[in-house]
Amino acid sequence: MKFKQDFFTQLPEFYAQVYPQGISNPHWLAWSEDAAKLIDLQQPTDALLQGLSGNAAVEGASYYAQVYSGHQFGGYTPRLGDGRSIILGEALGPQGAWDVALKGGGPTPYSRHGDGRAVMRSAVREFLVSEALHHLDVPTTRALAVIGSDMPVWRESQETAAITVRLARSHIRFGHFEFFCHSERGQADKLTQLLNFTLKQHYPHLSCDLAGYKAWFLQVVQDTAKLIAHWQAIGFAHGVMNTDNMSILGDSFDFGPFAFLDTFQEDFICNHSDPEGRYAFGQQPGIGLWNLQRLAQALTPVIPSDDLIAALNQYQHALVQHYLMLMRAKLGLAARANSTAEQDQQDLELIGGFTVLMEKNQLDYSNTWRRFGQLDPSSAHSSLRDDFIDLKEFDAWYQTYQARLGKVADIEAWQQARNSVNPKYILRNYLAQEAIIAVEEGNLAPLERLHQVLRQPFAEQVEHEDLAKRPPDWGQGLIMSCSS
């Protein structure tokens, strides 16, 4: 790995230097060839294993934990920081640089009462979801590998420690800006320093002045809106949308008790620690805005409120437009260039009408969409019909749909296009769980198979058909614990 160390050298007051403590008997549990290419790595070598487990120094690495704060479940925590993630620096690759972080690398000055470690199940889940989202075309941080160990760690019971090697275009979070606004009150110079760094690294076309800052914030609003539109379209619930888990670049970031929807349920809660459903699936668009408002508040020392508000006002439009684009593609509706507000509203009603029907009939979100790939949209008798109990309701919806769809010239091409946007394979919680149980028993094969299948979520892969099934009884609506 070749590193540059821009964050480390340019922002010395924004982190604590800290070295990983190493783990016993490190071994590869998973490795992503796709992520490796991003930083010019070829093979999971022994030297790399020792380096990334923290047992040996990695040449050129700097080792630091960043400081930030954040709103957690609505309340402000003035100091968080990387409690168990140690960044090695920005590794250079063919298409740019990627922060390399050892998540679970050991305690840092920000660990508070934690042990700085991650348990195997959460490391594996972070790896799998990073791969799954990326191959579903959803912006996300990446994962290079999972390293297992025989080091015991205590959660509700004894488990073993593991490390996810995370790659991120940036680790800068909304919470970084909050920290330098609220916790280091009066230090507008630091806020500006962080802002200038962010712009120079990631928005080189923008100038480091008020015009640039305004354009940048609008970009953050739009990127966040697009990210959440993606989550809603693909049926992904993040689970812990605290502002310290929001990437400034609009990547899916910091995974815990996330879930892809099985049965469609608008108010689905995947996080055991969120009984009120603050982060329920259907709440995500509103929370995205709430989080952006917290970011805007933190930026008031450097950007006038009116400009911040003007940018925030773009959020809903950006989100709806992106969502419409993604959902029109799922349904096979022609994109509408320059559509009117009335047309958009009609399409939103058509989409919403279908998800309401899905919910009423307790249908599987992804598998139902996938069935559009076999649909003959010119036929009055829809092959989807048998999935619905109230046929009158379905027929009414289908009629409206057909009228909006119009004539499809090439049905086969239309069906193929549906299969290229409606995935067959998603990372269902029960599949992750099965892979994790196998890893606990020393069998890596199910994890490897699941990983490989998720690299081509839109392909048929008939020999892996079982991985596209709805969960068995034990795996339905699994609610994951926050402990990780």
Helix (H, G, I), strand (E, B) or coil at 99: strand
Sign of CA dihedral 68, 202, 106, 239: positive
Q: Is 55 annotated as a binding residue?
A: no
CA 399 to CA 45: how far, in whole Å? 58
Quick one: which segment of 112-120, 128-136, 410-418, 454-462 binds ligand AMP (CB under 6 A)? Answer: 112-120
Q: How many helices (H) and strands (E) does the chain have?
A: 16, 13
Site string for Mg ion, 20-49 (x = CB under 5 A): ------------------------------
Which entry of ligand AMP, Mg ion, none binds 106, CB below 5 to 8 A by partner kind?
none
Helix (H, G, I), strand (E, B) or coil at 96: strand
Q: How far is CA 1 from the centre of its chain?
A: 25
Size of the site for Mg ion (CB under 5 A): 2
- 372: number of Cβ within 10 Å: 20
Q: What angle do CA 192, 196, 198 make, to 5 degrees?
A: 115
Task: Considering the complex, state which of residue 245 and residue 422 has its C-beta at the smaller distance from ligand AMP.
Answer: 245
Task: Considering the complex, state which of residue 221 and residue 241 has its C-beta at the smaller distance from Mg ion.
Answer: 241
Site string for Mg ion, 241-270 (x = CB under 5 A): ----x--------x----------------
Task: Considering the complex, state which of residue 146 and residue 357 has its C-beta at the smaller distance from ligand AMP.
Answer: 146
Q: How far is the CB of 356 from ligand AMP (least distance, A)?
A: 32
Q: Is 93 annotated as a binding residue?
A: no
Catalytic residues, which ones?
244
| CB closest to Mg ion, residue no | 254
117 near ligand AMP, judged by CB under 6 A: yes
Q: How far is the CB of 161 from Mg ion (least distance, A)?
A: 18
Quick one: which segment of 79-87, 309-317, 439-447, 460-468 binds ligand AMP (CB under 6 A)? Answer: 79-87
CA 217 to CA 167: how far, in whole Å? 24
- At residue 476, φ and ψ (nearest 5 deg) are -80, 135
Q: How far is the CB of 135 from Mg ion (least distance, A)?
A: 23
Which entry of Mg ion, ligand AMP, none binds 111, CB below 5 to 8 A by partner kind?
ligand AMP
CA 290 to CA 405: how far, in whole Å? 36
- 434: number of Cβ within 10 Å: 17
Quick one: which segment of 80-88, 209-217, 364-372, 454-462 binds ligand AMP (CB under 6 A)? Answer: 80-88
Is 242:71 a contact under the CB 8 Å cutoff?
Answer: yes
Q: Is 239 annotated as a binding residue?
A: no
Helix (H, G, I), strand (E, B) or coil at 212: helix
Q: Is 385 annotated as a binding residue?
A: no
* Contacts of ligand AMP in 205-264 (CB under 6 A): 240, 245, 254, 256
CA 302 to CA 154: how far, in whole Å? 44
- 411: number of Cβ within 10 Å: 13
Is 14:176 a contact under the CB 8 Å cutoff?
Answer: yes
The secondary element (H helix, E strand) that includes residue 376 is none
114 near ligand AMP, judged by CB under 6 A: yes
- The DSSP result for 350-400, as a single string, is HHHHHHHHHHHTT-BHHHHHHGGGG--TT-SS-TTGGG-S-HHHHHHHHHH
Q: Is 81 annotated as a binding residue?
A: yes
Bridge-based pairing of strands 85-93 and 96-103 is antiparallel
Burial of 190 (0-12, 13-18, 19+ CB in 10 A): middle
Q: How far is the CB of 54 from ligand AMP (least distance, A)?
A: 14
Q: What angle do CA 120, 19, 178 make, to 5 degrees?
A: 85
Q: How far is the CB of 430 from ligand AMP (least distance, A)?
A: 22
Q: Is 115 annotated as a binding residue?
A: yes
Question: Tell me, what DSSP letter sits at residue 200?
Answer: H
Q: How far is CA 20 from the centre of its chain?
A: 26
Q: Is 390 annotated as a binding residue?
A: no
Which entry of Mg ion, ligand AMP, none binds 116, CB below 5 to 8 A by partner kind?
ligand AMP
Quick one: which segment of 78-86, 227-235, 265-273, 376-384 binds ligand AMP (CB under 6 A)? Answer: 78-86
CA 395 to CA 121: how far, in whole Å? 44
Which entry of ligand AMP, Mg ion, none binds 82, CB below 5 to 8 A by partner kind?
ligand AMP
Quick one: which segment of 131-139, 237-245, 279-287, 397-405 binds Mg ion (CB under 5 A)? Answer: 237-245
Q: Is 371 annotated as a binding residue?
A: no
Q: Is 313 annotated as a binding residue?
A: no
Q: How far is the CB of 115 from ligand AMP (least distance, A)?
A: 5
Q: Which residues are annotated as a binding site?
A: 81, 83-84, 103, 115-116, 166, 173, 245, 254
Q: Which residues bind ligand AMP (CB under 6 A)?
A: 80-84, 111, 114-117, 240, 245, 254, 256
Which residues of this chain interact with Mg ion, rule CB under 5 A? Answer: 245, 254
